[in-house]
Structure 1
Amino acid sequence: MSDYMEETGDPFTGKKKEELKKFLEYMGLTYDEQITHSIVLRKEKEIIATASCQKNIIKCVAVSEAYQGQNLLAHLMTSLIEYFYGMGISHFFGFTKPQNKELFFSMGMYPVAQTEKILLLENDKNGLEKFLKRLKKETQEQQKCKVENRHENGIGAVVMNCNPFTRGHEYLIREAAKKNKWLHIFILSEEQSFLTTRERYQLVKEGIQEIPNVILHQTSEYMISPAVFPTYFIKEKAKAYEMNCQLDIQLFGERIAPELNITDRYVGSEPACDVTHTYNQCLREQLPCYQIRFHEIPRKTYGDQIISASEVRKKYAENQLKSVCGMLPESTWRYLERKKNENGK
């Protein structure tokens, strides 16, 4: 490696970022603005290889054709793994085109799910199996202190952000719980602004404790919003989100739902957000392929206004939380009031 110079950025900016973007473009890839760390190898000041990541997701990996077969990929991967471990990350993922699978296999990655356009990989050969076992164990433990709905036979599921947990979320859960023997609630675990994963999970737990047949889970990287999937390798950008939805739904339909015997999935209607509306439409079209029924429940309103977590966040930031108190369960309202006072807002 003495002929090459390694350079890192957290991430690169200015001229170095532009050089990396041009190299990726030449290699048929698009620079991902969500990148948090990049490594490049240079020879005579020219970039000849690169790899990047966004937290624990590997992306934008490329080696110039003239330098392939020279073990540059192994060098990049070693550097990335050292970076991950230095950041306390031991479990990481990669998204790429299926035709690049051998490249990622050589990096010690294992396939998790694949569609025609997207391949998801991870560094733990049994990672998904461990996640599924965790879900099953959580289910069995919670069922011991819960009561099934004996009037129904289905096993339902809802997947939510709950940032924060509103009366709209509560309404959707109650409606779905009425129609199923058991209802699984998956709270997306990716960290977001406003409330942490732990805060969101706890607010949901407090808000649903009176509903007897619900089982609460935190998700992991196997269940994240398709909106945060990388698209750097997808040329048809207009269709990228739908392609990501397909991967998400396939993973849910083929692996997660069968493990928990899920027969029905519920969402709230989405008149305002195009991204969520598109996702709901993909669910409607694709879930039947996995023998899962799709249900869209009309959104609950507060007066003449649709209850919205984004509206709550907006009013919180504007110091007008009281104006949306009717959108919130008592436990969420108390928590946000306390949080606001502690922050001096």
Structure 2
Amino acid sequence: MSLKEVGKDLPLVEDLRSLFLSGRPLLDVRAPVEFHEGAFPNTRNHPLMDDADREAIGTCYKQQGQDAAIALGMQRVSGDIKDARVAAWAAFAREHPDGVLYCFRGGLRSRISQQLLYESTGIQYPRVKGGYKLMRRFLLQQLETLPSQLQPIILSGGTGSGKTIFLKTISQSIDLEGIANHRGSAFGTQPNQQPTQINFENQLAIDLMRKLDQGQSTLLFEDESRMIGSLHLPETFFKRLSEAPLVLMQVPNDERVEISYQEYVVDNLQAFTALHHGDEAAGFAAFSQYLLGSLAKIQRRLGGVRYQKAHRMMQDALIQQKRTGKTEAHYDLVRFILLDYYDPMYNYQISKKQDRLVFTGSPAEVRDYLNSMGIR
């Protein structure tokens, strides 16, 4: 069979909208380096060529042309190596019979993968026409066009008001911080890394598509700046949110301190410990580094006196925690950072949004208001 005929009669998927709305499992046969730069939700990487193969074949292509590069590829992906890669595809296909595979452009790599899988197992697994490049372009187009179809409502409130907790109780919402894996503040870093910008945008586009497909054009979003950690909201989408009506949720300071203590101290300590497989000493060390590093990020804004005070409080709390295993000593630090640092910044920011403010109330009152707007 000639290369032009490889995969010629095997199934092809062209409807990208249905593909993403359905959440069909995706088999990415690109090299790992490509996969880690950006992929799609519900995707697993089982490459036709590994990174070393890709580099060697790419160099050969530049120096000797396509025919030589293809010959080298056939040589490198053969024998036991080929069998192992086909076996991985077959296992995925049997686990996900409704899935599809793709390479970068939907070209030779995905066609070869399809053909090898079919010849070895008889499985006719579909490939995506246009591959990753077309899929990515399609989702970027959605991020440009879908915001105009939204009627967003923005949930605001001081740090520690439990906005994210509240948001998760509303079905007509999208949790941007959840997608970004970041709480959106200097202390918002999570133990696990943030996704790549590409993966963040892909997930956001798909979530918007699904909400609108379900008839949910009025959606609740948390009040965010353009940046969530190291990630930025797409320009068209952010502009739409920045013009939307604002609902302000008011929570007593003591309750905000308790929520912040739970999220930033208790929950993060547990997460860091879990990340280190239950090793409490390693978890504590990572947690300490996180706190001190987060405080250093706001040193300039705190100013010398307040930074030194906060640093002493943090060091004292960590020393006591290391000695006793208890975290209660962090309460005073949480209250200080919350009321002396975050609140003045928040009050300034909300003062510039008064023309968008449509409702202010307790969480229960905010819920009643949103329900009256048809948001549940």
Larger radius of gyration: 2
Higher relative CO (Cα under 8 Å, sequence separation at least 6) belongs to 2
Q: TM-score range by the shorter chain?
A: 0.3 to 0.5
> Whose helix proportion is higher, 1 or 2?
2
TM-score calculated relative to the size of structure 1:
0.34
- Is the strand fraction higher in 1 or 2? 1
